[in-house]
Structure 1
Amino acid sequence: MTGALIGLSVVIGSVIGSFLNVVVWRVPRGESVVSPPSACPQCAHPIRPYDNVPIVSWLLLRGRCRDCGAAISGRYPAVELGTGVAFALVTWWLGVSWALPAFWYLAAIAIALALIDIDVNRLPDAIVLPSYPVALALLALASWNPTGEPDWAPLLRAALGAAILFAVYFVLIIVYPKGMGFGDVKLAGVLGLYLGWVGWDALVVGWFAAFLLGGVFSVGLLLTRRAKRGSGIPFGPWMLAGAAVGLVLGPAVADWYVGLL
């Protein structure tokens, strides 16, 4: 059952990834993600449904528009494949669970937000703010667990985690406003929901891992002279990467640290 679900996750994730390509391009520009239909940016010809099959269509078209021959960026199939792989990894991690929709949603917005932050150094409210009620509703479903025994403690912990992480980042931006943007603060609350739902270990490790990974990356840029002191880097991707570390490895890392003491 889990193997079949992982395979289905790849398909679902790839389809979602196709939509994320639209989100990543249009949301920073303030455009609708629903209309008009996707079209070639060179010749403006609408993309036919059979040319919009995730990954497969790009391969069959050899990365070029059917109408004008313009090159189609390899980023499109990469996002589709990456989202499919991300959904599969989430399914492998959780197994058959009512929590799957919540964490699939997190994987989807994580990919979109990371790419947008890298592209335009911004975390759009259009994605972050709706994630609060959506994530809360999906995590409530997971806590309700319709086919088993409800467990509301994780949901309460999720709400506290969101408040704590939002407050921590809010203080950080007041103390050092050049270090991050308010979009990072708002994203922190969303990540706090998920990390708190999993556990306090996940919350602490996820918060610390974001700064550790971002710091290591920044040092690497300095050593390779690809950045100077004071150069800013998008922090959203490192917050998301740190959250992933906290969710998956939080309890193990916490146990290891306690063992050292």
Structure 2
Amino acid sequence: MDLLFTSFANFIVFALGASIGSFINVVVYRLPAGVSIVSPPSRCPRCLHRLGKGENIPVLGWLRLKGRCRHCHAAIAVRYPLVEAATGLIFLLVFWQFGISIQTVGYWIFCSWLLALSLIDLDTMTLPDRLTKSGLAIGLVFGVVAGLIVQAPVNGVVYHLMSRVVGAVLGIWIFDAIALFGSLALGQAAMGAGDAKLAAMLGAWLGWKYLLLAGFLACAIGAFIGGGAIALGILSRRQKMPFGPFLALGAFITIFSGDAILAAYFRLIFPAI
């Protein structure tokens, strides 16, 4: 019975995540184009045929159509089911880590925002203010709501809220400074303004301590991948590279392993304590 319940719960969580992933595909496609994310309903971008209920099922709809529109036979990008499946997997990972809790709901929201922003940055080299600012506001509100739900003392709720506010301020200050000094050193824009706003959003969700860890991981991973791409001739030294996905990846790693990473770091630096 326990196995049956667990399997059913995992299926529901994955299906919920895949459905959110389907909506993320809509946001990623329409928001940069300035099109409403609500209307019209999902349709083929070529023949404008409105997708039926069976065609619009996450992942399975694409497989059922064999990757082509049923009416005009135009190819449907494989990225759509991949994003849906990836979102479902992310929802499962968060659920396995935090169980049935307010943290699970919060990190589902947070990771959905990060995925949408990452894909838009990869496509357009921009991070829309509508997503970064709304994500920051939701992060601050979530900090208060989560504190009240777990019945923390008032001073504890205030402390956690202030940690998130300080994290948001630090995020935008630190990455604005990196952008400024990097631009002076390179003689060209080193980082877009949207990256600092995304870092502020990370601070609002993670607090200042975990923001610093996520930012460090993002810079380390970005430097490694960017350096490797330059060495392999994939990128030139002056070619721009979206940094939003690295910030999102740093935040994702921090959600699951932040405590372990910081504990290992402090054991290394202060072995006698």
> Is TM-score (shorter-chain normalized) higher than 0.5?
yes
TM-score calculated relative to the size of structure 1: 0.92
Q: Is it true that 1:34 corresponds to 2:42 in the alignment?
A: no
Q: Which residue of 2 is the match for residue 165 of structure 1?
A: 171
CA deviation map 1:225-252 (0-9, x unaligned): 1111122100000011111222222222
Distance in structure 2 (CA, Å) of the matches to 1:31 and 1:245: 32
TM-score calculated relative to the size of structure 2: 0.88
Distance in structure 1 (CA, Å) of the matches to 2:260 and 2:97: 14
Distance in structure 1 (CA, Å) of the matches to 2:256 and 2:54: 37
- Paired positions, count: 257
Match of 1:69 among 70, 73, 94: 73
Q: Structure 2 stretches of 5 or more lacking a match? A: 184-188
CA deviation map 1:38-88 (0-9, x unaligned): 211221111112210111111111111111222111111111111111111
Q: Is it true that 1:176 corresponds to 2:187 in the alignment?
A: no
Q: Are the equivalent residues in 2 in contact too, given 1:114–1:240 (CA < 8 A)?
A: yes
Residues 1-261 of structure 1 aligned to structure 2 (within 5 Å): 3=6, 5-145=9-149, 148-149=151-152, 151-152=156-157, 153-177=159-183, 178-196=189-207, 200=209, 202-261=210-269
- The alpha carbon displacement at 1:110 in A equals 1.1
Q: Post-superposition, which runs of at least 4 consecutive aligned residues in structure 1 deviate over 6 A?
A: none
Aligned-CA RMSD value: 1.8
Structure 1 residues 25 and 102: alpha-carbon distance in aligned structure 2, compared to 1, 3 A threshold: same
- Which stretch shows the higher mean deviation, 13-22 or 56-65? 56-65
Q: Are the equivalent residues in 2 in contact too, given 1:102–1:139 (CA < 8 A)?
A: no
CA deviation map 1:186-232 (0-9, x unaligned): 11110011221xx72x2322111010000000111011111111221
- The alpha carbon displacement at 1:176 in A equals 2.6
Q: 1:154 is matched by which residue type in structure 2?
A: H
- Which stretch shows the higher mean deviation, 169-178 or 73-82? 169-178
Distance in structure 2 (CA, Å) of the matches to 1:204 and 1:40: 42
Q: Structure 1 stretches of 5 or more lacking a match? A: none
- Which stretch shows the higher mean deviation, 179-188 or 249-258? 249-258
Structure 1 residues 93 and 74: alpha-carbon distance in aligned structure 2, compared to 1, 3 A threshold: same
Q: Are the equivalent residues in 1 in contact too, given 2:136–2:205 (CA < 8 A)?
A: no
CA deviation map 1:8-48 (0-9, x unaligned): 22111111111111111011111110111221122111111
